[in-house]
Chains A and B, each alone.
Chain A
Amino acid sequence: MSTTYSAQGDAKLDTSQITVIARTESMLVRAHGLAAVIALIVSALFGTVVAIKFVDPEFLGTQPWATWGLLRYNHTQGIMFGWLVNAFLCFLYYATPRLAGRSVTSQRLGWALFALWNFGMVLPGWALVEVNLPQWLLAIKPLEWTEFPLVINAVTEICLVIIIAQFLWPIAMGPERDRLYISAWYALGGGVFTLLAFPMGSLVPEFVPGAVGAAFSGLWIHDAVGLLVTPFALAMSYYVIPAVTGRPVYSHFVSMLGFWILFFVYPLNGTHHYVYSAIPMDTQRAAIAASLLLGVDVIIVVFNQLASLRGAGVLMYRDVPLRFIWVGIVFYLIVSIQGSLQALMPVQRVIHFSDWVIGHSHLAMLGFATFVAAGGMLHAWQRTPGARYHGGLASAAFWLVSIGLAIMFIDLSVAGLVQGKSWAQPVPWMDSVRASMPYWWWRVGAAFPILAGFGCLLVSMLVGRQAILTDEKQ
């Protein structure tokens, strides 16, 4: 009961007491895990169709539902809400009892959340985007990362409240409340921040016009990645690394330093999506400065996590969830340093509006977030009674997705440079489209290893041996 993180091998760990006091909702771990991977595959299929439409615009025909724009909304919204948050919830059901020393608030509330999130939010969200109704409550919002209609956003917000009641309440009020591990910090901070930032990003730009609306919209574009995806992904990596190695993290002080700088600096990044725009120059400059600081912070965080893995080379390869995690962390380092550099005005000038940014966002959402989420989810999955797990297939998933991501990232980065250069020259606009075509074909090619990898991930969670029933085993 007195342990903060079971993985520390704390001598005072009293396993039997924890199981009595803090129960893990295994069924909910499994439900959210499966929902996550299914949503991942559906969203990736949306993305693949979007990619194919770049090289064959009439693929699937010209019916309203098959329009490029609608499929793109469903790709990004599905990845964020359907895949990533479901994976986070799967992990939270496993980790909260261990971080808080107390069960989640209610099993019933858990099933309500599961139903509401998947069947009240993700599925109807996809459907409403596809039918594209004109009523303002049911209509698509043209706001990046929150395109689902307002009525769906209301459900999301209700779910965020439930998430706070279900996970954050036991963490904040449980027996461990005065000595919380860093993963719990990230869950607390990310949960509360998103509860506030999501309605701000979904409502304010919808009704505040023009340049002012863009300023608020920019905030959410970054908050979605920075204050929803990143904190929960880091909560996972900070949890799994010591749990697998059996040693504490390198430095708790550095953990906290990284946490505070991240929460201070991340939200101030938003305007870097509108560099050289009509938004006041001072605001743009402030966001660029914050973006540079963010790179520094990520170096601190990633250093701390990788330093915790010193001497664990064999485990880093053999334990597939850990491999997903630490490779995801390396992607986090790369994508953040890239992000800091590309926020600089001379770089923005060339790469903004181009496929470079699409490569960057895939390195963030597919490289960092998806790898870490898959690792955290599989770690919980392996230790959940009744769940099957196949290490070989999970490893195959790792390699296939890695290959696809590498092709896609390099391909899109080069394409972005080609486009930026073309736009700066006195040539017809279509020259940039013609020049991009080979790169767009390569991206379609990259979709196949990625889809195959996701398929392996799903199968790895359905076959293989069952987890050992004592859920405090290591």
Chain B
Amino acid sequence: MSLLPRRRWFGARQAVLFSAGIGFFVLSVVALGILPGLRLERSIQADTPAVLSPYTKAKLHGRSLYAAQGCAYCHSQQVRNIAEDVRRWGPPTQPWETKYDSPQLWGTRRIGPDLAREAGVRSKDWQLAHLYNPRYIVPGSIMPGYPWMFDGSVTRPKVDALDLVAYLETLGAARRAEMSNVQQLTADQISARRPSAAAKGTIPDWLADVSGTICSAASPSINARSGPVKNTTVDEGIELETASLDTDPSRAHASITGSTVSDAPTAKGDLIRGQTLFKQSCASCHGASGNGHSPAAFALAPRPADLTQFEYSDQALASVLENGVAGSSMPAWRDLSDQQVADLVAYVQSLGQKPSFIPTQSATLAFGSQLYAADCAACHGVNGKGDGPVSAILKPAPFDFEHIRPSTAELEKVLMQGVPASAMPAFPGLDASDRKTLATFVRSIYQGPIDPSNRH
């Protein structure tokens, strides 16, 4: 009854063994492994920028921990060529970015966020505290804690934890450096720096346009969300260079932490929703009441701000949420919608000092301004905008007192103690009345909760 031909020299068994078992295996390896592999190799050779360097020994050790612990089973390391991914993490992963990744850790699952662009997004303190116990920093996180990488306390990381965080700091760093280089080129040069001819076909045509646009992110017209995290949180210097070329006076006010915000939030914030968002996203570091006291706070330097001691302009808060605070553990919250930003701003405003304009004697102000010019202007700028000549190299950036008004108590405390892990020193030379006078002057710089450039 068999339908098979009864040929001894080449029967079904030979066909099965050699065609199905061996032939189709070879076919699949050639078609889906070797051929695309050769093409990828060509594009990697053509596109790899000079800034990409092999891993150091410590980073390789960190990487091996990442690999063995299965981090890649919850955190992908590839930004896909789709708008949803690009919006959250920036331009799609190109073949050369994982040139030294052996074995690759692209991952096929996301329970936590993608980490392909993790470099510069969060501070080392943040990463270490989060590694020790993720729920210190991210309430509701389901990531395992790795306390055995520490010596009993979050402040005493072992070499494992340090190497792992060092590895995280390399993810996407070369891509970012490459993009900053691109930003300084002219438009013609940008088009020349697009993926090479060898890489054509590795990304869809429509996407070449998207990545081209993203590459030219220096243009102020682009929506800030299309970048991974603004360059300002990563490298102050680069942004300042472009900012200094910016001659648009309406944008001068936008420099809060040396960064730019496209627009102040126009949506009206809702206090209740803002409170929920604050609990979910902010309270782990800033404390449930916003006073900067939390389990995570002692592991972070500089410490999370005591939000009850400051008045912020809406724009300053929106900018901090949009860009984070470089040099501190405050990350950017770019995945919040404009409405959510407005809600949070409204809630944080309700935590802070109530706006008060106590009239002060002009003599006090005059003396205060002298003290300010002598001790503060080098960093905070002659006008208090945080743009003094030294500010460009400081992280976190000096406060812009036009947009941020500390309470008198906070100012007096900082003048006495300085701000640990920032450039702000203590001023033991000032006596109590000097501190009070200076505080009064600094508070007088504040322009109010709504940005003056938006007032009509």
Residues of A within 8 A of B (CB): 4, 53-55, 57-58, 62-64, 67-70, 72-73, 132, 134, 139-144, 171-172, 177-180, 185, 188-189, 191-193, 196-197, 200, 204-219, 221, 223, 227, 248, 252-253, 256, 259-260, 263-264, 267-268, 270-271, 273-283, 286-287, 349, 352-354, 357-358, 423-430, 433-434
CA separation between A383 and B255, bound complex, in Å?
Answer: 81
Q: What are 13 residue pairs bridging A and B, where the CB atoms are less than 8 Å apart in the complex?
A: A69-B69, A70-B70, A132-B68, A185-B12, A205-B103, A210-B98, A212-B37, A212-B40, A248-B1, A278-B78, A353-B109, A430-B141, A430-B280
A159 CB to closest chain B CB (Å) equals: 17
Find out whether the CB atom of B142 lies under 8 angstroms from the CB atom of A57: yes
A260 CB to closest chain B CB (Å) equals: 7
Find out whether the CB atom of B71 lies under 8 angstroms from the CB atom of A69: yes
Find out whether the CB atom of A53 lies under 8 angstroms from the CB atom of B142: yes
- The 8 A CB mask of B400-416 against A (1 = contact, 0 = none) is 00000000000000000
Interface of A, secondary structure class, is helix
CA separation between A44 and B148, bound complex, in Å?
Answer: 27
CA separation between A134 and B64, bound complex, in Å?
Answer: 8
Find out whether the CB atom of A273 lies under 8 angstroms from the CB atom of B108: yes
Find out whether the CB atom of B12 lies under 8 angstroms from the CB atom of A219: no
Find out whether the CB atom of B95 lies under 8 angstroms from the CB atom of A211: yes
B272 CB to closest chain A CB (Å) equals: 17
B211 CB to closest chain A CB (Å) equals: 12
Instruction: Give the chain B neighbours of A433 by CB distance below 8 A.
Output: 111-112, 140-142
Within residues 85 to 100 of chain B, which ones have a CB less than 8 A from any CB in chain A?
85, 87-88, 92-95, 97-100
Given contacts A210-B98, A349-B84, A424-B84, contact A278 B92 (CB under 8 A): yes
Q: Which segment of B13-21, B122-130, B183-191 sits at the interface?
A: B13-21
Find out whether the CB atom of B44 lies under 8 angstroms from the CB atom of A211: yes
CA separation between A101 and B294, bound complex, in Å?
Answer: 74
Instruction: Give the chain A neighbours of B111 by CB distance below 8 A.
Output: 433
Given contacts A209-B103, A281-B203, A282-B201, contact A196 B140 (CB under 8 A): no
Given contacts A178-B8, A281-B202, A423-B84, contact A142 B67 (CB under 8 A): yes
Find out whether the CB atom of A427 lies under 8 angstroms from the CB atom of B340: yes
Within residues 421 to 439 of chain B, which ones have a CB less than 8 A from any CB in chain A?
none
Find out whether the CB atom of A179 lies under 8 angstroms from the CB atom of B36: no
CA separation between A179 and B141, bound complex, in Å?
Answer: 59
CA separation between A54 and B76, bound complex, in Å?
Answer: 17
Question: Which residue on A lies nearest to B204, using beta carbons?
Answer: A281
CA separation between A134 and B69, bound complex, in Å?
Answer: 11
Within residues 317 to 353 of chain B, which ones have a CB less than 8 A from any CB in chain A?
333, 335-337, 340
Kindly identify which residue among A53, A139, A248 contacts B68, using a CB–CB cutoff of 8 Å.
A139
Find out whether the CB atom of A213 lies under 8 angstroms from the CB atom of B104: yes
A281 CB to closest chain B CB (Å) equals: 6
Find out whether the CB atom of A57 lies under 8 angstroms from the CB atom of B145: yes
Find out whether the CB atom of A69 lies under 8 angstroms from the CB atom of B70: yes
Range for the number of chain B residues in contact with chain A? 35 or more
Find out whether the CB atom of B94 lies under 8 angstroms from the CB atom of A278: yes
Kindly identify which residue among A144, A208, A248 contacts B108, using a CB–CB cutoff of 8 Å.
A144
Find out whether the CB atom of B25 lies under 8 angstroms from the CB atom of A267: yes
Q: Which segment of B27-35, B258-266, B301-309, B444-452 sits at the interface?
A: B27-35
Instruction: Give the chain B neighbours of A171 by CB distance below 8 A.
Output: 13
Instruction: Give the chain A neighbours of B3 by CB distance below 8 A.
Output: 252-253, 256
Given contacts A53-B144, A69-B71, A143-B103, contact A210 B44 (CB under 8 A): yes
Instruction: Give the chain A neighbours of B71 by CB distance below 8 A.
Output: 69
The 8 closest A-B pairs by CB, nearest first: A69-B70, A192-B21, A267-B28, A210-B98, A209-B102, A276-B80, A263-B20, A353-B110
Within residues 102 to 159 of chain B, which ones have a CB less than 8 A from any CB in chain A?
102-113, 134-135, 138, 140-148
CA separation between A70 and B69, bound complex, in Å?
Answer: 6
Find out whether the CB atom of A209 lies under 8 angstroms from the CB atom of B143: no
Q: Does B73 contact A (CB under 8 A)?
A: yes
Within residues 33 to 74 of chain B, which ones have a CB less than 8 A from any CB in chain A?
33, 35-37, 39-41, 44, 64, 67-74
Find out whether the CB atom of B280 lies under 8 angstroms from the CB atom of A67: no
Q: Does B383 contact A (CB under 8 A)?
A: no
Given contacts A212-B40, A252-B2, A267-B28, contact A430 B138 (CB under 8 A): yes
Find out whether the CB atom of B69 lies under 8 angstroms from the CB atom of A67: yes
Instruction: Give the chain A neighbours of B293 by CB distance below 8 A.
Output: none
Find out whether the CB atom of A172 lies under 8 angstroms from the CB atom of B138: no
Q: Does B101 contact A (CB under 8 A)?
A: yes
Find out whether the CB atom of B281 lies under 8 angstroms from the CB atom of A283: no
Find out whether the CB atom of B147 lies under 8 angstroms from the CB atom of A142: no
Kindly identify which residue among A191, A216, A217, A270 contacts B21, using a CB–CB cutoff of 8 Å.
A191
A125 CB to closest chain B CB (Å) equals: 14
Q: Does B225 contact A (CB under 8 A)?
A: yes
Instruction: Give the chain B neighbours of A68 by CB distance below 8 A.
Output: 70, 74, 144
A228 CB to closest chain B CB (Å) equals: 12
Most buried by A among B22, B25, B35, B100: B25
B264 CB to closest chain A CB (Å) equals: 18
Instruction: Give the chain B neighbours of A143 by CB distance below 8 A.
Output: 103
Given contacts A197-B25, A211-B98, contact A62 B144 (CB under 8 A): yes
B178 CB to closest chain A CB (Å) equals: 15
Find out whether the CB atom of A277 lies under 8 angstroms from the CB atom of B80: yes
CA separation between A279 and B138, bound complex, in Å?
Answer: 33
Given contacts A188-B21, A276-B80, A278-B78, contact A62 B103 (CB under 8 A): no
Kindly identify which residue among A4, A53, A63, A172 contacts B13, using a CB–CB cutoff of 8 Å.
A172
Find out whether the CB atom of A434 lies under 8 angstroms from the CB atom of B140: yes
Find out whether the CB atom of B28 lies under 8 angstroms from the CB atom of A429: no
CA separation between A207 and B101, bound complex, in Å?
Answer: 9
Instruction: Give the chain B neighbours of A207 by CB distance below 8 A.
Output: 102-103
CA separation between A86 and B337, bound complex, in Å?
Answer: 52
CA separation between A188 and B12, bound complex, in Å?
Answer: 11
A360 CB to closest chain B CB (Å) equals: 12
CA separation between A188 and B141, bound complex, in Å?
Answer: 48
Q: Does B420 contact A (CB under 8 A)?
A: no
Find out whether the CB atom of B17 lies under 8 angstroms from the CB atom of A192: yes
Given contacts A4-B2, A433-B142, contact A178 B99 (CB under 8 A): no
CA separation between A193 and B24, bound complex, in Å?
Answer: 8
Most buried by B among A73, A219, A354: A219
Find out whether the CB atom of B202 lies under 8 angstroms from the CB atom of A268: no
CA separation between A57 and B145, bound complex, in Å?
Answer: 8
List 13 additional contacts besides A72-B73, A354-B110; criterion CB under 8 Å: A69-B68, A210-B95, A216-B37, A252-B2, A252-B3, A267-B27, A277-B78, A278-B98, A349-B84, A357-B108, A427-B335, A428-B340, A430-B138
